[in-house]
Structure 1
Amino acid sequence: MVALDAHHTTPSGRTIMTNSRISGFRNLSIEDRRAKVIVESALDARRLDALSPEHGLGLEQADHMVENVIGVLGIPVGIATNFTVNGRDVLIPMATEEPSVVAAASNLARMTRDHGGFVTTSTPPRMQAQVQVLDVVDPVAARLRLLESRQELIEIANAQDPQLVSFGGGAVDILVRLVPSSRQTYVVLHLVVDVRDAMGANAVNTMAEAIAPRVAEIAGGRSLLRILTNKADLRITRVRAVFDAAALGGGEVVENMLDAAELAVADPYRAATHNKGIMNGISAVVLATGNDTRAVEAGAHSHAVDEHGRYTSMSRFEKDAEGNLVGTLELPMPVGLVGGATKVHPAAQANVAVLGVGTATELAEIIMAVGLAQNAGALRALATEGIQRGHMSLHARTIAVTVGAHLDEVDAVVARMIAEKSVRTDFAEKVLAEIRAGARA
């Protein structure tokens, strides 16, 4: 077994010695789960109060976040256990309404622990803004003129955000592309900005607005669009993990998982569902931490288009020399810890505290580990019992509660639905009526 160093010191100096391998966590009460998370994450006892509906996002806060507020929507937050990321055990909050997601990620993370867990690397946190220039008579020469003006444009951009520059970020480069269209050839300048621990949209958009007049003047045209691109292909996070063959179910299961994964590589119809499974894990952590799920999803799916313009699998799976399953995943991961809902939403703040992350890069790497675990979990289900058995077992509990089953009735209703392979509302109502009739007899 690989020795793991679970110590972690946050920017505030708080030392965490988390153990994410919590046996029987799912069988604890909500109160006991919270207590366990508080202990393992070394949090103040009241830190998770924001995850209770009565203490979470209020109407007054919501009214300052978006327009025309009439209320707030609750989403279940579960804790993914068993994760070791770059040698550190971490408990991971996931916000999702879909059954089986948290359980699958936790289960597959357990199967990596004897092989060192998840190992990640990241590029610098660089986002890009595009400035579109129209009506350029000499676009090829205009491109070179803009490249010659690189330093001038970078200085104009950085003057807009001296604080970001003081933290070691700011505009670092420009790229210029010629984009032919049915109307004309557009000159499109990309401003490359190191956004540090921010997602970066506001910073790069402000800089793009500032340089646009000068860009148009140099190019000899007029500027139109001045906005970031969510194809964040300069901000890549990579993760790899070894999933133990015996824990997965043996060599035959590994082979079936490899064939299931390869269909997603070869077939865009399968890739769409395969990648959705990856995003089940990724989006749940992105949402839990108050980050922009749409931006992350757009960047991830655009990255899944290969050099031939074909939509394919985001992940890749292989077999190592010992017969274990090796999974890898590389995606843009534009998330932040400063600004936006991450700093406004009390539940997002609580979830970030549970993670104990100090940088946006560290957050991105944990998110990617969950995406890979979730993907492996879906592949294993497909390669063995089929996706419906595990999914519907958890879905059955939701149906039981929906039809009005009390806490002491839920397990019996679920057991009947699973036994008779009839996970439906009408059948649950029938079972519940029979249980109650029997109790009165």
Structure 2
Amino acid sequence: MNTPVEGFSKLTKTQKIDWIAINCTKDPEATKQLLKQYWNTDPRVQQLHDEFIENTVSNYYLPFAIAPNFKINDKLYAIPMAIEESSVVAAASKAAKFWLERGGFKAEIIGTEKVGQVHLIYKGDNQKLFRFFDSAKPELIKSVSSITQSMEKRGGGINNIELRDLSNKIDGYHQLHCTFETLDAMGANFINSCLEQFARTFKEQALLFDAFSEEEKNIEVVMSILSNYVPDCLVRAEVSCPISDLGNADMSSKDFAEKFVRAVNIAKVEPYRAVTHNKGIMNGIDAVVLATGNDFRAIEAGVHAYATKEGQYSSLTHATIENGIFKFWIEVPLALGTVGGLTRLHPMVKLALEILQNPSAKELMQIVAVAGLAQNFAAVRSLITTGIQKGHMKMHLLNMLNQLGATEAEKQKLVTYFKDQTVTNASVKEALESLKSK
């Protein structure tokens, strides 16, 4: 039974494993063996992994796969994906091949601006506060010169600082709304360092502003933090072709195009469908974000917030038919980095970026957006033709057979058998039992 522990972080790795095994599991020896089984065989690499986070006891593996044949802006990519869900990589690869034969994907960067905020409480004369801000703004920028110097040399830095009055929402609430350009870095540490210095300088300068009363000089800084909502760090990816090029065995090209557009439009107006629709997009996006060492949780939060920008949660993708041309596209906010963080530390992240031909942050934004669009195309295509389960369950077949303890020979026979059979838990179990009985 789990019990409280004092000073867990100060225990050695072996002591942590012993405590977990004894206090939290039914078979301590099996637990210890399992945790050690997933250690890297190279002690130097394992130490590197141990130092990424606190209280490390082992590694948690995800499959690292490749989706080939992505043509993006006339350049060919093999896209690394780290994900556990069956059929995602297969679906992305299938969509990539489909569009490779129809001109490939086009992508463009709409903006790369990132956001951070200093949240303040001020209950004095608003006109005085805005006059003070105008006078203090140059000092705010000057105060972070040592932080921004390197970034500015590369063409980045602070774009703007503005004072916003939000006291109609919370009494006295104001904020410094700050925008940044961080180039190939995701920029979280850079932005947060700037914001915290802005906060210190803002309070210091307020004490020197003669127009403030003593009470008004006492501005409260609640917190200083970047925002993961980056609607102006935006990328667009699209595919298009004549309707006649959408040949499909299940229906005519015209019917396919029209049904596809209707399916996307349903996700535009129906939030219950939109959430699952966008989850499919994130299957592609998250897998590449994770493989390249970026923060998929930040991306998820920002993307889903963007999906509500019109006041209701809605589809991130769009589809139209105009003058006989089918067009399918996505606009999505992606704050990504190709330098800093894990990109220089994690060996698999370095490899993933090498496979992607060492892209800039802008190029990676385009690649990730394309992965999401491809995933969504594959999903909607399946939904309006054969249904999602046919392909998904066939990809899930090996997982099911492994759970049932099938041998390699049995797996080979049953994979062949289910090529033209419906895959369900019951049918797979029945087929395996029948095979074993023979």
Tell me, yes or no, whether TM beats 0.5. Answer: yes
The one-letter code matched in structure 1 to 2:46 is L
Equivalent AA in structure 2 for residue 310 of structure 1: Q
Match of residue 109 from structure 1: 96
CA distance in 2, matches of 1:248, 1:149: 63
Other-structure match for 1:28: none
In the alignment, does 2:317 pair up with 1:319?
Answer: no
* C-alpha RMSD of matched pairs (Å): 2.4
Name 1:7's counterpart in structure 2. Answer: none
Q: Is the 8 A contact 1:92 1:285 kept in 2?
A: yes
Look up the SS of the partner of 2:355 in the other structure: helix
- The equivalent of 2:115 in structure 1 is 128
Is 2:434 aligned against 1:434? yes
Q: Map of 1:49-68 to 2, 5 A cutoff? A: 58-68=45-55
Shift of 1:338: 1.2
Instruction: Quote the Cα distance in structure 1 between the aligned partners of 2:227 and 2:401.
Output: 44
**Counterpart in the other structure of 1:407:** 408
Residue identity opposite 2:238 in structure 1:
R
Q: In structure 2, what residue type is equivalent to 1:341?
A: L
| Matched residue, 2:334 | 333
The answer to whether residue 277 in structure 2 is matched with residue 274 in structure 1 is yes
CA distance 1:375–1:422, change in 2 (3 Å): closer
Distance 1:357 1:172 in 2: 27
Q: Quick one: which amino acid aligns to residue 332 of structure 1?
A: P
Report the AA paired with residue 377 of structure 1. A
CA contact (8 A) 2:246 2:256 kept: no
**CA deviation after TM superposition for structure 1 residue 306, in Å:** 2.5
CA distance in 2, matches of 1:144, 1:238: 39
Amino acid at match of 2:232: L
* Contact persistence 2:230–2:333 (CA under 8 A): yes
2:292: which partner in 1?
A: 289
Query: In structure 1, the residue corresponding to 2:166 is in which secondary structure?
Result: strand
Change in Cα spacing, 1:321 to 1:111, as seen in structure 2 (3 Å) is farther
For structure 1, list consecutive stretches of 5 or more residues without a partner in the other structure.
1-51
Cα distance per residue 1:411-436 (max 9 Å; x no partner): 43245557553521x65344334323
Displacement, 1:54?
5.4
* Superposed displacement of residue 58, structure 1: 4.2
What is residue 154 of structure 1 aligned with on the other side? Answer: 141
- 1:396-424 deviation digits (Å, cap 9, x = unpaired): 12211222223332243245557553521
Residues 394 and 423 of structure 2 are in contact (CA less than 8 Å); yes or no, is this contact kept in structure 1?
Answer: no
Matched, 1:300 2:287: no
Q: Distance in 1 between matches of 2:175 and 2:225?
A: 11
AA in 1 matched with 2:411: V
2:77 counterpart of 1:90: yes
Q: Retained in 2: the 8 A contact 1:136–1:187?
A: no
Q: Secondary structure at the match of 2:80?
A: strand
Q: Which has the larger radius of gyration?
A: 2
CA deviations 1:279-336 (Å, max 9, x no partner) are: 11000000001110001111111111133x211111111124234x311111111110
How many angstroms apart in 2 are the aligned matches of 1:147 and 1:328? 42
Deviations 1:368-403 (A, max 9, x none): 011111111111111111111111111112211222
- Name the CA shift for 1:86/1:422 in 2 (closer, same or farther; >3 Å): closer
Question: What amino acid sits opposite 1:284 in the alignment?
Answer: A
Displacement, 1:254? 1.3
2: CA distance between counterparts of 1:82 and 1:423? 31
Give me the whole-angstrom Cα distance separating, in 1, the residues matched to 2:375 and 2:163: 38
Give the C-alpha shift of residue 178 in structure 1: 2.2
The answer for the alignment partner of 2:382 in structure 1 is: 381
* TM value normalised by structure 1: 0.81
Helix, strand or coil for the counterpart of 2:147? Answer: coil
Structure 1 residues 409 and 194, CA gap change in structure 2 (3 angstroms): same
How has the CA–CA distance of structure 1 residues 371 and 143 changed in structure 2, closer, same or farther, with 3 Å as cutoff? farther
User: What is the match of residue 15 of structure 2?
Assistant: none
Kept in 2: contact 1:257–1:380 (CA 8 A):
yes
* Residue matched to 1:366: 367
One-letter identity of the residue aligned with 1:256: K
Which residue in 1 is equivalent to 2:179?
192
Query: Offset of 1:167 from its aligned partner?
Result: 1.6
How big is the shift at 1:257?
Answer: 0.9
Deviation at 1:183, TM superposition (A): 4.1
User: What is the rounded CA distance, in whole Å, between the counterparts of 2:134 and 2:428 in structure 1?
Assistant: 67
8 Å Cα contact 1:173-1:193 kept in structure 2: yes
Residues 278 and 201 of structure 1: CA distance in aligned 2, closer, same or farther (over 3 Å): same
Kindly indicate whether residue 261 of structure 2 is the aligned counterpart of residue 263 of structure 1. Answer: no
Change (3 A) 1:101 1:243: farther
Q: Aligned to 1:111, what secondary structure does the other structure show?
A: helix
Structure 2 unaligned segments of length 5 or more: list them: 1-38, 207-215
Secondary structure of 1:161's counterpart equals helix
Residue 239 of structure 2 corresponds to residue 252 of structure 1: no
**Residue correspondence of structure 1 range 26-37 to structure 2 within 5 A:** none
Q: Match of 1:169, as an amino acid?
A: G
Deviation at 1:55, TM superposition (A): 6.7
1:22 matched residue in structure 2: none
Number of equivalent positions: 384
TM-score normalised to structure 2 length: 0.81
Mean alpha-carbon deviation: is it higher for 393-402 or for 291-300? 393-402
Task: Summarize the alignment of residues 65-76 of structure 1 with structure 2, pairs less than 5 Å apart.
Answer: 65-76=52-63
Show the counterpart of 2:199: 212
The aligned residue for residue 30 of structure 1 is none
Q: 1:287 to 1:387 in 2, by over 3 A?
A: same
Q: 1:57 to 1:369 in 2, by over 3 A?
A: farther
